[in-house]
Amino acid sequence: MDFEIYKIMFDVAIVGGSSTGLIAARELSKHGLRVCVLEEHEIGEVVCSGLISVNGVKELGIKPENVENIIRGVRFVSPSNVEIYAHSNIDRAFVVNRGLFDRQIAEEALSSGAKIFEKFRAKKIAFKNDYVDINGEIRAKIVLGCDGLKSIVARACSLNPPRRVVASAKAVFKNADYLQEDVAEVYFRDYAKGFFAWILPRGKCVEIGVGVRKANLRLALERFLKERGLELKSFQTGAFPVEVVSDTCGYRAMIVGNSAGQVKASTGGGVITGGICAKIASKACLKSLEEDKFDKDFYKKNYEDIWKKSLLREFYAHIIIRELYERLDKHSLDALFKIAREEGIDKIMIKYRDTDKPSKFLDEIMKKEKIISFLSQFI
Ligand SMILES: Cc1cc2nc3c(=O)[nH]c(=O)nc-3n(C[C@H](O)[C@H](O)[C@H](O)COP(=O)(O)OP(=O)(O)OC[C@H]3O[C@@H](n4cnc5c(N)ncnc54)[C@H](O)[C@@H]3O)c2cc1C
């Protein structure tokens, strides 16, 4: 990095140029702040299915340009193939090309004046009296840690990024059969314990993936593919957090997105929730610079308390749902599917279809005595 850059005092340096960091950069640069994004890879080099809710992108003010499919329904399949199918004519989610989605947001940030440094790995973060120094190459008044599960920003502030994670793998197949092009399928299998396997239609292809907590990832994907007569050739792997972090602020610093566990634990989706938290963190940055306050308590009040107020209940609802996948064995899952079908769960799913905010769905389930009495033995 050249010395001219070190002379710039950025208002905000964002470590991590995946969706959360780029959404923060877009927000901050729109408000005229001097922002830089430091990304160790290239923008768009990300492992993600790109399933993002229609409501969520609206809330973030993003119009995705690379939509491969629109999802209107979901089919859940139990270990012995009992099905729950919930479909309506309302557009629920986009399947986007995630690499292009990130580049679209990066372009918007660049056009508002943000700087993006690719292949830049933040290795050393030092908190000085008046600024934050990154690698002795970048100076900024505030640092945002949008740097995922191994967050260096979190560690520099003595915060703990999430430890509980789901490992996942996915592969894309041309011309593989799928039932309906606007339906995502979720399969509970004992070899994918703690999470599930999925089939997602993507344009003329299908994506087949699997997530596991404590099982062999490659074997799980191979077994799921074998069930559909497919063979594993190439695949991508990644991981996402399934717990939320409570302490997300430090002196001149906030952690946002995957690094803070701001992910929907029951689905692994983190683009929208991370983006919402990035917008909250961006507002906190603006206020911090206006008032010249950079202490942890300031960010706690203006970032942490706000994201918790709007999303913590929803994160907990996701965590409860995912923990059920982990606690229930295959027989119990089959039994639960049968009871849930009898109780009309498909209609509840259609009515409360906002998967970013499942707490209302859970409230409704709590009214179903048969389901609750069945589940009480596992709690
Ligand atoms: C297989 C899979 C499928 C998924 N599918 C979906 C989906 O369909 N929908 C959805 O909403 N979410 C999905 N997710 C989750 C989603 O990808 C993330 O939640 C989303 O990318 C937001 O994460 P983030 O930006 O906070 O962090 P991450 O995506 O983890 O990005 C962190 C970034 O920081 C960079 N970085 C890390 N350390 C440094 C450093 N020291 N210096 C510089 N750069 C650094 C990394 O290179 C990376 O680009 C999926 C995840 C996986 C693994």
Question: Is the distance from the beta carbon of residue 239 to the nearest atom of ligand 1 less than 6 Å?
Answer: yes
Q: Using one digit for the tens of pLDDT, what is the confidence trace for 313-335?
A: 999 999 999 999 899 999 999 99
- Rounded Cα distance between 371 and 374, Å, is 5
Q: In this structure, which residue's CA is closest to atom 37 in ligand 1?
A: 147
Give the model's pLDDT for residue 200.
95
Question: Which is the closest atom of ligand 1 to the Cα of 151?
Answer: 38
Question: Is the distance from the beta carbon of residue 267 to the nearest atom of ligand 1 less than 6 Å?
Answer: no
Candidate of 258, 266, 273 to mutate for ligand 1, largest count of ligand atoms within 8 Å of Cβ: 258
Confidence of residue 179 (pLDDT cuts 50, 70, 90): low
- Rounded Cα distance between 228 and 291, Å, is 59
User: 3-state DSSP call for residue 152?
Assistant: helix
Confidence of residue 74 (pLDDT cuts 50, 70, 90): very high
Chain-centroid distance, C-alpha 5: 32
Give the model's pLDDT for residue 366.
86
Distance from Cα 269 to the centre of ligand 1, integer Å? 10
- Rounded Cα distance between 278 and 303, Å, is 9
Comparing CA positions, the residue from 249, 277, 250, 247 lying closest to residue 262 is 277
Question: Is the distance from the beta carbon of residue 257 to the nearest atom of ligand 1 less than 6 Å?
Answer: yes
Per-residue DSSP letters for 305-321?
Answer: HHHIIIIIHHHHHHHHH
Q: In this structure, which residue's CA is closest to atom 13 in ligand 1?
A: 269
- Rounded Cα distance between 220 and 206, Å, is 18
Question: Is the distance from the beta carbon of residue 317 to the nearest atom of ligand 1 less than 6 Å?
Answer: no
Distance from Cα 18 to the centre of ligand 1, integer Å? 6
Residue 74 identity: V
Angle 22-26-28 from CA coordinates, rounded to 5°: 115
Do 38 and 138 contact (CB within 8 A), yes or no? yes
Give the model's pLDDT for residue 6.
78
CA distances from 104 to 46, 63, 179, 214 (A): 14, 9, 31, 35
Distance from Cα 163 to the centre of ligand 1, integer Å? 15
Confidence of residue 297 (pLDDT cuts 50, 70, 90): very high
Candidate of 18, 170, 185 to mutate for ligand 1, largest count of ligand atoms within 8 Å of Cβ: 18
Q: Using one digit for the tens of pLDDT, what is the confidence trace for 103-147?
A: 999 999 999 999 999 999 999 999 999 999 999 999 999 999 999
Give the model's pLDDT for residue 26.
98
Q: Using one digit for the tens of pLDDT, what is the confidence trace for 204-249?
A: 899 999 999 988 999 999 999 999 999 888 999 999 999 999 999 9
What does the mean pLDDT of the chain come to?
A: 94
pLDDT tops 90 at residue 353: no
Question: Is the distance from the beta carbon of residue 52 to the nearest atom of ligand 1 less than 6 Å?
Answer: yes
pLDDT tops 70 at residue 152: yes
Do 66 and 104 contact (CB within 8 A), yes or no? yes
Question: Is the distance from the beta carbon of residue 274 to the nearest atom of ligand 1 less than 6 Å?
Answer: yes
Other beta carbons within 10 angstroms of residue 20's beta carbon come to 31
- Rounded Cα distance between 10 and 50, Å, is 31
Question: Which is the closest atom of ligand 1 to the Cα of 273?
Answer: 11
Q: Using one digit for the tens of pLDDT, what is the confidence trace for 22-35?
A: 999 999 999 999 99
Q: How much helix, strand and coil, in percent to the nearest 5, is found in the chain? A: 40, 25, 35
Question: Is the distance from the beta carbon of residue 197 to the nearest atom of ligand 1 less than 6 Å?
Answer: no
Confidence of residue 355 (pLDDT cuts 50, 70, 90): confident
Question: Is the distance from the beta carbon of residue 62 to the nearest atom of ligand 1 less than 6 Å?
Answer: no
Confidence of residue 2 (pLDDT cuts 50, 70, 90): low
pLDDT tops 90 at residue 180: no
Chain-centroid distance, C-alpha 353: 18
Give the model's pLDDT for residue 122.
98
Distance from Cα 378 to the centre of ligand 1, integer Å? 32
Give the model's pLDDT for residue 178.
62
Comparing CA positions, the residue from 121, 155, 163 lying closest to residue 138 is 121
Confidence of residue 1 (pLDDT cuts 50, 70, 90): low
pLDDT tops 80 at residue 175: no
- Rounded Cα distance between 68 and 48, Å, is 14
Average pLDDT over residues 171-180: 77
Q: Using one digit for the tens of pLDDT, what is the confidence trace for 271-296?
A: 999 999 999 999 999 999 999 999 99
Q: In this structure, which residue's CA is closest to atom 39 in ligand 1?
A: 147
Distance from Cα 162 to the centre of ligand 1, integer Å? 13
Other beta carbons within 10 angstroms of residue 341's beta carbon come to 15
Question: Is the distance from the beta carbon of residue 250 to the nearest atom of ligand 1 less than 6 Å?
Answer: no
Average pLDDT over residues 174-179: 69
Question: Is the distance from the beta carbon of residue 146 to the nearest atom of ligand 1 less than 6 Å?
Answer: yes
pLDDT tops 70 at residue 177: no
Give the range with max mean pLDDT: 190-194, 281-285, 347-351: 281-285
Distance from Cα 342 to the centre of ligand 1, integer Å? 38
CA distances from 159 to 17, 125, 342 (A): 20, 14, 46
Question: Is the distance from the beta carbon of residue 56 to the nearest atom of ligand 1 less than 6 Å?
Answer: no
Average pLDDT over residues 154-180: 89
Question: Is the distance from the beta carbon of residue 260 to the nearest atom of ligand 1 less than 6 Å?
Answer: no
pTM of the model: 0.96
Do 256 and 248 contact (CB within 8 A), yes or no? yes
Strand pairing category for 138-145 and 249-250: unpaired
H helix runs in the chain, sequence order: 3-7, 19-30, 54-60, 98-111, 152-156, 217-227, 271-291, 296-299, 305-307, 313-327, 330-342, 345-351, 359-365, 369-375
Do 333 and 378 contact (CB within 8 A), yes or no? no
Question: Is the distance from the beta carbon of residue 16 to the nearest atom of ligand 1 less than 6 Å?
Answer: yes
Give the model's pLDDT for residue 378.
81
Average pLDDT over residues 8-18: 97
- Rounded Cα distance between 110 and 122, Å, is 20
